């Protein structure tokens, strides 16, 4: 069974009219996978629901004062503007749930070899401030959790969202056992890009072939050099040519090929992988969902979950 992690709260957030964040995409993605593809009935996937983490669990990763102010709605207005969402209890609840979801995905991946979170990838959250729709860095939080699992000594975060994983890079800069690897557009948000352990910055208008070829060669080198025994993967689809916030020229099939490439490595090298859906901002939500489902299609193609527990 291919484990998928989801909670309805992910899409339960009232936003001002015209807000660019596609908050409904999580529910639409779940509905699409659950109904239209009918994959649960094919008995190859299983949905899991997280239970929310407590805010105090974040205080060893983020600045305790930041967490305190965030949950109590006492952040200065400028800090809320940088996050990009108005404060609400819904916002805090879904954020804590999503961090729990990425952590649960790590546990499921440890057990099954793979897990997919239908949320996550809040890589612009830093130690004492949030940014770019990210409040809590679920990737850094879950990567640290992975290091507590039996036999896991080195974790790699492969972040293929079109935007650089700046928060993850700064939060984990002094963590030698978590390797941060970001593949992103060189002229996109965030303006200031602190060093990850590995940064692959590609120019605007990078095509599918250029992307896959370059990414594959750096991925091979990175895995050979660091030999991680657990991978977190941010499968952001804002690399697509029609994404509102991306500048690459990458096709739907290019997203599938990228995801299949990463998953193939993990499958053949027997490295557990916890994947999150990451960014994706197309206004046409049906098209956006199609992009995010590529990750699940690639996982089904590589892992053949109908055979996962059969001889």
Give residues in contact with Zn ion (CB under 5 A).
161, 163, 236, 238, 279
Which segments within the chain are labelled E, that is strand? 2-5, 45-48, 114-117, 155-159, 178-185, 198-202, 230-234, 273-276
Query: Edge to edge, what strands does the sheet with 178-185 contain?
Result: 45-48, 2-5, 114-117, 273-276, 230-234, 155-159, 178-185, 198-202
Beta strands in 100-143 (DSSP E): 114-117
User: How far apart are CB 124 and Zn ion at their closest, in Å?
Assistant: 8
Tokens of 62: 């983020």
Q: What is the distance between the alpha carbons of residues 259 and 160, in angstroms, rounded to a whole number? A: 9
Name the pairing type of β-strands 230-234 and 155-159: parallel
- To the nearest whole angstrom, how small is the minimum distance from the Cβ of residue 80 to Zn ion? 20
Rank residues 108 and 291 by Cβ distance to Zn ion and give the closer one: 291
Nearer to Zn ion, 2 or 126 (CB): 126
Task: Dig out the tokens for 197 from the structure.
Answer: 């352990």
Rounded to the nearest 10°, the torsion over CA 274, 28, 79, 201 is 50
Q: How far is the CB of 164 from Zn ion (least distance, A)?
A: 9
Task: For the CB of residue 238, give the shortest distance to Zn ion in the complex, in Å.
Answer: 4
Q: How far is the CB of 257 from Zn ion (least distance, A)?
A: 19
- Comparison of 71 and 239: residue with beta carbon closer to Zn ion: 239
Nearer to Zn ion, 236 or 305 (CB): 236
**Rounded least distance, CB 246 to Zn ion, Å:** 7
Among residues 136 and 152, whose Cβ is nearest to Zn ion?
136
Q: Which residue is nearest to Zn ion (CB)?
A: 279
Contact status, residue 55 vs residue 71, Cβ threshold 8 Å: yes
**Beta carbon nearer to Zn ion, 197 or 238:** 238
- Which phi and psi (to 5°) does residue 133 adopt? 70, 10
Beta carbon nearer to Zn ion, 167 or 236: 236
Tokens 């004062």 correspond to what residue? 65
Could you write out the three-class secondary structure of 200-235?
A: EEECCCCEHHHHHHHHHHHHHHHHHHHCCCEEEEEC
Angle among Cα 124, 164, 152 to the nearest 5 degrees reads 80
In angstroms, give the least distance from the CB of 160 to Zn ion. Answer: 10
Please, are residues 107 and 95 in contact by the beta-carbon 8 Å criterion?
no
Q: Whole-number minimum distance, CB 268 to Zn ion, in Å? A: 28
User: Rounded to the nearest whole angstrom, what is the least distance from the CB of residue 139 to Zn ion in the complex?
Assistant: 12
| Closer residue to Zn ion in complex, CB, 115/236 | 236
In angstroms, rounded to a whole number, what is the distance separating the alpha carbons of residues 127 and 117?
Answer: 23
Give the nearer residue to Zn ion in terms of CB position, either 113 or 236: 236
């Amino acid at each position: 069974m291919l484990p998928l992690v989801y909670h309805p709260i992910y899409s339960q957030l009232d936003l001002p009219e015209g807000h660019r964040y596609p908050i409904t995409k999580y529910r639409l993605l779940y509905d699409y996978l659950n109904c239209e593809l009918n994959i649960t009935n094919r008995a190859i996937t299983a949905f899991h629901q997280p239970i929310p983490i407590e805010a105090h669990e974040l205080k060893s990763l983020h600045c305790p004062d930041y967490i305190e102010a965030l949950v109590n709605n006492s952040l200065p207005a400028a800090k809320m503007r940088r996050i990009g969402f108005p404060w609400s209890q819904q916002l805090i609840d879904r954020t804590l749930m999503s961090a729990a979801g990425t952590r649960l995905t790590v546990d499921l991946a440890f057990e099954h070899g793979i897990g997919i979170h239908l949320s996550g990838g809040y890589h612009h959250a830093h130690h004492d401030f949030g940014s770019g729709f990210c409040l809590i860095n679920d990737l850094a939080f879950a990567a640290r959790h992975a290091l507590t699992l039996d036999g896991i000594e080195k974790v790699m975060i492969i972040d293929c969202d079109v935007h650089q994983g700046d928060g993850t890079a700064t939060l984990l800069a002094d963590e030698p056992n978590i390797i941060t690897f970001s593949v992103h557009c060189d002229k996109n948000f965030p303006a200031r890009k602190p060093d990850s352990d590995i940064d692959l910055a590609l120019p605007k208008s990078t095509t599918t072939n250029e992307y896959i070829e370059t990414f594959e060669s750096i991925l091979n080198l990175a895995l050979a050099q660091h030999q991680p025994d657990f991978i977190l993967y941010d499968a952001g689809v804002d690399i697509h040519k029609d994404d509102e916030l991306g500048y690459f020229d990458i096709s739907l099939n290019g997203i599938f090929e990228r995801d299949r490439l990463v998953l193939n490595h993990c499958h053949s090298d027997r490295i557990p992988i916890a994947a999150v859906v990451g960014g994706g901002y197309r206004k046409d939500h049906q098209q956006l969902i199609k992009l995010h489902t590529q990750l699940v299609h690639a996982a089904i193609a590589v892992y053949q979950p109908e055979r996962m527990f059969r001889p």
